[in-house]
Amino acid sequence: MKNVFGYMISKQLWAKKTQRKAVFAMSLLLSLYCLSCDSNAIFKSYEDFKDTNWFVKTIPTFTFKVEDEKIPYNIFLLIRNASQYPYNNLYITRYIYDQDGKQISNRLEEILLFNPKTGKPLGEGLGDIYDHKVISSRNFKFPKKGQYTIKLKQYMRQDPLPYVMSVGISIEKPLPAKQ
């Protein structure tokens, strides 16, 4: 009887390890696919969370350079979550700092990850992993050329926040108006 239970436990552990490897491989492939899509992006980056848990003390930080302060930029938040994420939404506070460390903007964002009525996942999905690209600021004007930093802080009541695989930002030049 001990051998049967030992076999079952080792089979369950193997299945969990295999599932983690598959989730990692799928998120890596999805990242590469998403990174190759935006030719108008001046900066795009993700930060992955260990074991898909976003702790409050973990504040992803992204530093990028603005070469032309005359152009308005679109700032997008990028979220990757698993279908097991326990809420419909995600609150994130987005902070922007200039090269002197002075905060020039902050904003609390509510991002819907699932339809509140149906529970159906929103965003682009592959298996049980979903990517979301949500506009945070449209036509944002950086005050001057130089280096800027964006920090993202999760603003949910749960710590750690489970099944959030990664967050990121994309800074993009606006697309030309269609004629």
In a domain, 71, yes or no: yes
Q: What is the pLDDT of residue 171?
A: 98
User: Residue 39: its pLDDT value, please?
Assistant: 73
73 sits in which H/E element = strand 73-82
| Spatial separation of the C-alpha atoms in residues 142 and 80, rounded to whole Å | 27
Task: Kindly state whether residue 7 falls inside one of the protein's structural domains.
Answer: no
> CA–CA separation, 144 vs 54, rounded Å?
33
User: Is residue 21 domain-resident?
Assistant: no
Residues of the chain with pLDDT under 70: 1-38, 177-179
Our count of domains for the chain comes to: 1
| Domain CATH for 160 | 2.60.120.380
* Domain carrying residue 71: 40-172
User: Has residue 164 been placed in a domain?
Assistant: yes
Any domain includes 101: yes
> How far is residue 109's CA from residue 89's CA, in Å, rounded to a whole number?
10
pLDDT single digits (tens) 57-97: 999 999 999 999 999 999 999 999 999 999 999 999 999 99
Q: Does any domain span residue 141?
A: yes
3-state SS, residue 21:
helix
16 located within any domain: no
The reply to whether 14 falls in a domain is no
